[in-house]
Amino acid sequence: NTQIYVLDDCLNPLPIGVTGKLYVSGAGVGRGYLNKPELTAEKFISNPFIEGERMYDTGDLGRWLSDGNIEFMGRKDHQVKIRGFRIELGEIENAILQYSEDLKQVVVEVKENNQEKVLITYFTASESIDKSALRSFLQEKLPEYMIPSFYVALEKLPLAPNGKIDRRALPSITGDDIIRKEYVASTNLTEEKLATIWQEILGVEKVGITDDFFELGGNSLKIVKLYELIKKNISQDINVTHLFSLRTIRLQAQHIDQYSPEYTKEEEIIEIDF
């Protein structure tokens, strides 16, 4: 006497393998929340599939498996606030799951890194996932402030006694969780100076000249700080808007050396004042 549905935002049933919101209907559904009529009206809605019945919006995400079971995928209504933006973590998790069928479970969590809140993606997958390609995919789906900075592949996600994902047991991030390319060392003075600045701002050791600023955990606020330190220590001939497209040390150095050639003539690396 109980029905469980996996539905999209328009309450349409979703096929096997596609993640949606879980709804429950039938004899086990209660009357509502005590003394909370607005919340009751929001969460207990008419069942579009059975006339006269109601169904409960669980706020959970899940998907049907081919064997008839439902796999729990996380919470839909888990909200956080980062850099002034209110973010629905479930929306990010949904977008990530659209990237590949090889992704089995995804959790996006907020943790402290270098004294600031960052978004971290934890996932399990049946095959290796290209983290850089995943981030590029998300850039087409989500605004910049919703793009996770770190991507952590796990064999399995930690579970609480009730069978749900235990977010508090998710591991801390390491240098391996940063999206970075094969290390390419600096080749001139300008690149050396930029690498020092990047390492200070991003809290990352051994930055290569082909690494992407945003893939290393950069964001719009850090771009502004980068701009200020470049102007203070290297060159006045750069605009903050340039840095959004000049995303590697190599490209930034080429721009600076082109418009400020005097900075390539110094023989020693000066100490940068942060």
Q: With 0-12 CB in 10 A as exposed, 13-18 as middle and 19+ as buried, what is 40?
A: middle
Q: How many Cβ atoms sit within 10 Å of the Cβ of residue 259?
A: 13
**Of the segments 152-156, 160-164, 174-178, which one has the largest average pLDDT value?**
152-156
Look at 46-50, 57-61, 115-119, 211-215 and tell me which has the smallest mean pLDDT: 115-119
Phi, psi angle pair for 97, to nearest 5°: -65, -25
Answer yes or no: are the C-beta atoms of 151 and 121 closer than 8 Å: yes
Instruction: Give the domain 2-69 fold.
Output: Luciferase; domain 3 (2.30.38)
**How far from 224 is each of 136, 229, 258, CA to CA, in Å?**
22, 9, 21
pLDDT at 37 over 60: yes
CATH class of 189-264: mainly alpha
pLDDT digits (tens, 9 = 90+) for 156-173: 999 888 777 888 899 887
Residue type, 81: K
Q: Do residues 198 and 191 touch, judged by C-beta distance below 8 A?
A: no
| Residue 176 pLDDT greater than 70, yes or no | no
Across the range 103-127, mean pLDDT stands at: 88
pTM beyond cutoff 0.85: no
Least confident range of 36-45, 116-125, 179-188, 199-208: 179-188
pLDDT of residue 35: 86
- pLDDT over 70 at 272, yes or no: no
Q: What is the residue-averaged pLDDT of the chain?
A: 86
**Which residues, other chains included, contact 186 with Cβ-Cβ below 8 Å and sequence gap of 6+?**
192, 194, 195, 209, 249
Q: Is the pLDDT of residue 78 over 90?
A: no
Enumerate the domain spans of the chain. Answer: 2-69, 78-177, 189-264
In the predicted model, is pLDDT for residue 264 greater than 80? no
pLDDT of residue 28: 82
> Which three-class secondary structure string do you get for the chain?
CEEEEEECCCCCECCCCCCEEEEEEECCCCCCCCCCHHHHHHHEEECCCCCCCEEEEEEEEEEECCCCCEEEEEECCCEEEECCEEEEHHHHHHHHHCCCCCEEEEEEEEEEECCEEEEEEEEEECCCCCHHHHHHHHHHHCCHHHCCCEEEECCCCCECCCCCECHHHCCCCCHHHCCCCCCCCCCCHHHHHHHHHHHHHHCCCCCCCCCCCCCCCCCHHHHHHHHHHHHHHCCCCCCHHHHHHCCCHHHHHHHHHHHCHHHHCCCCCCCCCC
CA distance 49 to 177: 44
Residue 103 has pLDDT above 90, yes or no: yes
The number of CA neighbours under 13 Å toward the Cβ of 58 is 20
Mean pLDDT along residues 119-134 = 92
Confidence (pLDDT) at 116: 75
Q: What is the mean pLDDT of residues 74-101?
A: 82
Q: Which two tokens stand for residue 251?
A: 């490209």
Instruction: List all residues 6 or more positions away from 19 whose beta carbon is below 8 Å from its beta carbon.
Output: 6, 61, 62, 63, 73, 93, 94, 97
d(CA 185, CA 261): 21
Fold for domain 78-177? GMP Synthetase; Chain A, domain 3 (3.30.300)
Average pLDDT over residues 194-199: 93
pLDDT band at 268 (very low <50, low <70, confident <90, very high): very low
What pLDDT, on a 0 to 100 scale, did the predictor assign at position 266?
A: 47
pLDDT in tens, 133-142: 999 899 899 9
Query: Which of the four pLDDT bands, split at 50, 70 and 90, describes residue 259?
Result: confident
